[in-house]
A and B are shown apart, each in its own frame.
Chain A
Amino acid sequence: MNAFQISWKNLKANRLTLVLNLLLIAFGTGMLAMLLLGMNQVGERLRDNARGVDLVVGAKGSPLQLILSSIYLIDFPTGNISEEDAHSLSAHPMVKKAVPLALGDNYAGFRIVGTDTGYVSLYGLELEAGHFWVKPFEIVIGAEVARAQGLKAGDRIYGSHGLTSDEDLHDDHPYVITGVLKKKGNIADNLVLTSLESVWEMHGTDGAREITSMLLQYRSRMAMVALPAMINRSTAMQAASPAKESARLFALIGVGVDAVRWFAVALMLLAGVSVFVSLYNSLRERVYDLAVMRVMGASREAIFAMIMLEGTLLTTLGSLAGILLGHVALHAIGHWQGSPQARMDGLYFLPEEAWLLAAGLLIGLVAALLPAIQAYRTDISETMSKI
């Protein structure tokens, strides 16, 4: 019978205590794992989707809202800008590349984005099947849209007005799917892309054409300072920097995340105390067990190691269960999440999770130390004389 078997049998003898301690540790670790994975995914998505975009130009309003609606496609747009203004800005010498966006419609909750081929090259999109749009009302759909709705090239769909609902159907103009994009793991997976002309024709704009916003790339570092200042001061548009606004958004979420993180850490510490109390109490019942083990030939060191093993076995198992719980919970959240643009993925692993396991191990070591010392000191003769 090896040390693991002995310790495990001892733990199993007190099922309720075992379950309570496992739950405590699993919940603490689970919350930390969820935060770690969730925040990493959100951060990664934010960075990934903003890659290559130096500046977003749109109607005046909240800069954060402009970034959210134009890059992450989660919030409502700030309004429209005239195509003429946008066009003249894209010809500015400090601008290397400008990608126009026209939002306003959705298909089954997936946003329909009117743009040009600049969007395709900006995000490095590739086709899984079919070809990119040529004529108005031809569309290319993201991999996730195709999967979720069971669509393929050649199918026809109807968009609806607004950004989320499927009421107010544009049933006079069907879209024809000409291509399906390869899965990129970014925002494009959840989009329906088409030409600007499709959007304009759908809404029957006569006269001044409008777009929602424009994504810009600077030609030089110089533009970083000069261009936003120029746009904000001398045009009817506003310029917002994705990097700055993402940082602001993270700082806003960060307060809540910090609170949850401290709560989880407190839960872990509480679990440590619980493990300590359980081990300490169990020693009182098991004092004869320990003395008898000594009589059978176990050394003091073996008894010490046995109690330490019990503590660490408990917390390490709890941490493992917690990490698993974190992944499952995150996956569940992703499954029921409303906005497909920022869907959480439970099958996402980080090397940092090993630290959670190490923390569990450490808590076990610390919690078991005093009880183990107590067990180490057990005097066989004294115990066995007490009957």
Chain B
Amino acid sequence: MLQTSLLTKTFANGTTLRFPDWKVARGEQWLLLGESGSGKTTLLHLLGGLLRPASGRVTVNGTDLYALPSRTLDRFRGRHIGIVFQQPHLIRSMTVEENLLLAQSFAGIGKDVVRIREVLNALDMDHKRRAYPQELSQGQAQRVGIARALVNRPALLLADEPTSSLDNRNADAVIRLLSDLAASQGSTLIISTHDDRVKEAFFRDFMFELHHERISDQLEKS
């Protein structure tokens, strides 16, 4: 359901990253590993339709992301791709429930309060649905961030270092939740991390490792 081919990204300073081709089947759960600076976040943004590649293709559910006009790509991302970031970045002027409502309306999906309650319940956050983000703890906020990524039942769920700002207990819980929830609703899951706690907790499926030397032509350039 996810396929990349000949992906490259050139940065403003002239550096070009070349990514190995990658094929992910529906419902699979992957870890994207690599040291910081190896291009994990860049690759994840390419997969999520957030960053246009210099060349190559990203196909999600049979749709070539970067062949879409930008507005259609935005809509596609909202509807089919859920992204969990290192920091949850909830909208501060809105309650937990309104944050999720916003995700539904930007994706062009009608208001569905039942679904919001369902997701919040699954993350044990339903009791906080009227709370504002500043009233939540780090771990709670991160769980709302996950709820927001999941609320539209995305086909593809991407998580970028979701545990780096959490303590051990919360990190463990967050990984377990991501994995369980993705599995229960049939989302394909990719977690990028360099966190050993995640590697240990994440016992199944596949790993995709980026090696700095292999994907960067930095040396060739200079």
A residues with a Cβ closer than 8 A to B are 1-2, 6, 9-10, 12-13, 288-289, 291-302, 380-381, 384-385, 387
Contact = CB atoms under 8 A, between A and B. Distances in A.
B75 A291 contact: no
B70 A300 contact: yes
A1 B98 contact: yes
B78 to A, nearest CB: 2
Given A6-B102, A296-B107, A384-B45, A288 B70 contact: no
B41 interface: yes
B70 A297 contact: no
Main secondary structure of the interface of A (DSSP, over half): helix
Contact of A301 (B71, B83, B90): B71
B41 A2 contact: no
A292 B91 contact: yes
A83 B50 CA distance: 95
Contact of A293 (B79, B83, B102): B102
A103 B166 CA distance: 90
B80 to A, nearest CB: 10
B214 interface: no
Give chain B's interface residue range (CB within 8 Å of chain A): 35 or more
B105 interface: yes
A381 B40 CA distance: 12
Contacts of B102: 1, 6, 293, 296
Contacts of A292: 89-91
19 contacts: A6-B102, A9-B93, A13-B92, A288-B87, A289-B89, A292-B90, A293-B91, A294-B74, A296-B102, A296-B107, A296-B148, A298-B78, A299-B74, A300-B70, A380-B50, A384-B50, A384-B89, A385-B42, A387-B87
A297 B108 contact: yes
Interface string B75-111: 1011100010111011111100010011111111001
A297 B106 contact: yes
Nearest to A12: B93
A9 B42 CA distance: 32
A296 B50 contact: no
A299 B94 CA distance: 20
A387 B86 contact: yes
A2 B98 CA distance: 11
